Each structure stands twice: as C-alpha cells, then as structure tokens.
Structure 1
Amino acid sequence: MGHKVHPNGFRLGVYRNWEAKWFAPDKEYKPLLLEDVRLRRMLMIRLKNAGLARIETERSSSALTITLHTAKPGIVIGKGGTSVDQLRDELEKITGKRVRVTIQEIKKPELAAQLVAENVAAQLEKRIAFRRAIKQSLMKTMRAGAQGVKIRVKGRLGGSEMARVEWNREGRVPLHTLKADIDFGQTEAKTTFGRIGVSAWVYTGNFPTEAPPKPAAAVEEPVDAGVPVGAAIGEAPSPLAELVQVAIPAPAPEAAPTPAPAPVTAEAPAAKPKRATRATKASTADGGEKPAPKRATRARATTTEKSDAPKAPRARAVKKKE
C-alpha cells in the first residue's frame, strides 16, 4: 500500500501537519471547503511563475490567513509591495472577509517535490525528450542534498499513439517508513498530443526525533539553624572515605631483608660413559689400543671351476604296495 497511498496524507497527524487549519459546523463546512479549493486554484494560476510549492490556510471567525511557500518571493511581493496588495484585495472580494497574506521563502527549491514536478512539466511543454528532462531533474535534486528522488510521467510520451508510464529513481525512497521525510508533488504538462501527468517524490532523510529529557537538578538541603556557620561551611567527611578506612587494614611491619642467594653458574652436563665393546676390551687387556675390526659381511661362495665328476642321480621315492 505504500505505493498507492498519498505520501503526505499517509503521514498526517504523525509527522506532518494539515495544510488547511480550520474547522466549521456542518452547515458551513461545505461552502468553506469549496471556497478553499477555489482560492488554491486561483493562486496556483496567478502565481505560476513564482515557484509556489505549498499553500496553507487558517481561518478564524472574521479573518483568513494565507501562507505562501514560494521560491521567488520577489515576484509575489512586487515592486514596493504592490503585487501583494493587489492579491490581498482580490482575495477579500472573493471571501468577503479580512485576508492576511504571509510569504515564506524556500531556500532550496530543488528539494521541493512540487517544484521538481513543475520543472519537468515545463521542459515537456518545450518538446524536450522526457528521459532527458527526468535525468536532469534527478541530478539537480541529488546535488542539492536529497537522499533519494523518484520521478514518474504518464501519457502519450514522445507523441506515441498509446499512452504509457515511464519513471526513474536515484537513491532510496522508503515509502513504507513513517518517519521518512518524503515530499510529494504532482502537476500536468499540456502538450499538442494531450496532457502528461508528472509526479515527484523527494526523500530528504528522517524526521527529527525528540531529545531525551534532561535529568532533574539536585535540590540542596537547607542548613540547620542550630549548626554553627563554620561547621556548615566546612567540608563534611564523605562516607566513601570512611568505608576505605575500614576496609583497608593497617600495614604489617617490615621483615628483615633476606640474603640474596648465591649465583649459580650453568655448566654443561657431563657426558655419559660409552658402553665398552669387545674391541675395547681386547685392547685394554693387551695394554695397547687396537683398531676396532670392521663388521664382517657375508659373501656368497661362488665356484669358479666346475667339477668334472658326474652328478649322482636323484633317488626317487617309491611307494610300496601293500
């Protein structure tokens, strides 16, 4: 549902306030609502070139206050305030009440979704390709500091016979997140092929949350009247110092220093005596040293000469018949 519901209406009463701040009885509600709609349409047409992004109305019993959020306040005010005076006179004739007009300047018009949509619509009316117009608006909005922007156009794009929908997005636009500050604006571009609807979503971050409450200041206790002035002004012993004095025992008397142990020199361990062999035993018995005999290797006996004597026939074992 985040893609279907109006982003501003979805956040009304939670993070965003109403644009029409007034109430009326049942019988007067319908004519006042119709009057409010007519005033908004008249102001949007009258101040089309002034970059009007938002209109807020506030009613009282005998007066009407209109707040205009515009990117070009100089066009609304005019030279010497003549344009504002003429606009106020026209509004008083329509409503029959005293009208007060206040103007608030938009410092970053690239972040206002209504102005972004109107910019794209103006380029489409000048026969600029819709993809190029969308791309340029996306780049300008992201450079101004937006975290995400989405632009959608619907209609006979490029003069095609069949209407279609095209959209593009930069960054992220979390429509389901209530705390996300998403501004929405829509308008229409009147071309020779028909009207083209333009919608824009601008995400500038999350709404600021309330700061945690500060801790209450410590209340000083009054000084008793019977306590002397010097005692009241002097520093009282802290309970932490008393606990430290009780917990830490008194230091034990120092013992006589023990003599340092004698230095130990590391010597190589004595080599173990080798096991006496037969050769060493014979040499020690004769009184002289003899070289140890080499280990005898078995050699196969080979006969170089063949005997001329005939070989005896092998005896065959004969089994006796029983």
Structure 2
Amino acid sequence: MGQKVHPKSLRLKINTTWHSSWFASKKDYSKFALDDISIRTFIFKRFAEAGISRVEIGRISGKTEVVIYTAKPGIIIGRQGTQIDEVRAELEKKYGSIELSVKDVKKPDLDAQLVGDNIARQIERRMPYRRVAKQAIQKAMQGGAKGIKIRVGGRLNGVEIARNEHFKEGNIPLHTFRAIIDYAEVPSHTMYGVIGVKVWIYKGDSFKRKKNVEISEK
C-alpha cells in the first residue's frame, strides 16, 4: 500500500496536515476550493524564481490568510515590502480581504518540492540529469536526511523511447506511518517533451508522547 499511494495523504493527521484549512457550507465549498487553486497558481507563476515550497491558505471570519513558505523570502517581499504589497493588492481585487505573510524555509535541501524544482530547472538548462540528481542526494544527506529517493522519467537525453531512472541513498520506509516522508512531483519542460521528477525525502520518525494514566484504587 505504501508504494502506491501519495506519502503525504497516507500520513494526514499523523505527522502532516492539509495545505488548506477552512470550513464551508455546501454552497461555498466549490468556490473556496477553486479560489485556493487560483491563488496558488498565481503565486507560483508570479514568483517562479523565488523557490516556493508551499502555500498554506486558511479562512477565518471572512478573511483569507495566505502563508508563503519560500527559500528566498527577499524576492517576494521586495525592497521595503513593496513587492508583497503589490501582490496583496492584486489578490484582494479578486478574492476580498487577504492577510499575506512570508515564512523562510530553513533547510531547503530537505524540502522535496524545492529539491525537485531545482532538479527540473537544471534539466531544462540541459545539465546532465545523473549529475544533478547525485548532487541533490549528497546535499540532502549532508543536511541530515535519513534517506532520499529521486525518480526521473521521460525522454532522457532526447532518446526515442521514454524510460525511468532511480537514484537512492539511505532508507525510505513508505509502509511506516510514523515516518516523516516529504514528497513532491515536478515537471521539467525540455525541447524533447516533459520529463517528470519525483522526490522522496525521509527525515526521521515522529513519536507521540503517551499520557500518564493514573489509576486510583478505591
């Protein structure tokens, strides 16, 4: 089962959570879901070079809270916050009141989305995919990862028949629910077609503390 399903969806409420957090009536649910997709698409396109890991969206009392996790917060904020103010103004025209904030990703080499995006962009610049994948693995292991796996698939090096290649170091326990596994899929658009990049990063296990239960004898 662990080999077939999305590693994050399998571990929801165990050691990961949703990127959207809100409640809605049946009438508003589809609108909110489409708005979330539109907001994320806008932000990822607007700041394609900012190294965005994820965009979390929440709704409380009619206000939409958007948190951008990025490896390069300076690009998004801009000089004296002018860039982020422009983005907030554009979003508020379409989606109403929005509270926008930016948070720094402290370890980008351990973030699957950022690692996959970096590999995809280098492949687009015609860098050797084997060298790029091995460098990403080396950085992740040096950064404290317990294991990492990278899969690159498509017309690699422009060959006629598409194929997949895997690169792995360490352990990736996909069947272990307590294992903290970050996962991402990133497309790389080359002159030969789209090459898919998948990244799994194992960061360790999460353990919940057991509450001490005292039994009083009557």
Letter in 1 for 2:160: E
Q: CA deviation at 1:174?
A: 0.4
Q: State TM-score, norm by structure 1.
A: 0.64
Deviation at 1:184, TM superposition (A): 0.6
Is 1:170 aligned to 2:196, yes or no? no
**Offset at residue 14 of structure 1 (A):** 2.1
Q: 1:136 to 1:82 in 2, by over 3 A?
A: same
Inter-partner Cα distance in structure 2 for 1:98 and 1:213: 45
SS, match of residue 48 in structure 1: coil
Q: Secondary structure at the match of 2:49?
A: helix
What does residue 316 of structure 1 align with? none
Q: Which has the larger radius of gyration?
A: 1
Q: In structure 2, what is the Cα distance between the partners aligned to 1:46 and 1:149?
A: 29
Q: Which gives a bigger RCO, structure 1 or 2 (Cα 8 Å, sep 6+)?
A: 2
1:31-61 CA-to-partner distances (Å, cap 9, x unmatched) read: 2111111111111111111111011100124
Match of 1:51 in 2: 51
In structure 1, C-alpha distance between the alignment counterparts of 2:207 and 2:56, rounded to whole Å: 22
SS of equivalent residue, structure 1 residue 50: coil
CA distance in 2, matches of 1:25, 1:164: 45
Structure 1 segments unaligned to the other structure (5+ residues): 216-322
Indicate yes or no: 2:18 matched with 1:18.
yes
Which protein is richer in strand relative to its size? 2
Identity rate, percent: 43
Matched, 1:66 2:66: yes
Structure-2-length-normalised TM-score: 0.94
**Residue in 1 aligned with 2:126?**
127
How many residue pairs match? The answer is 214
Structure 1 residues 129-208: aligned runs within 5 Å = 129-208=128-207
- C-alpha root-mean-square deviation of aligned residues, in Å? 1.4
Unaligned residue ranges in structure 2 (runs of 5+): none
Q: Which string of whole-angstrom CA distances, capped at 9 and with x for unpartnered residues, describes residues 220-268 of structure 1?
A: xxxxxxxxxxxxxxxxxxxxxxxxxxxxxxxxxxxxxxxxxxxxxxxxx
SS in 2 for 1:199: strand
CA distance in 2, matches of 1:69, 1:210: 28
Q: Which moved more, 1:126-135 or 1:141-150?
A: 126-135
Q: Secondary structure at the residue paired with 1:58?
A: strand
Paired amino acid for 1:137: A
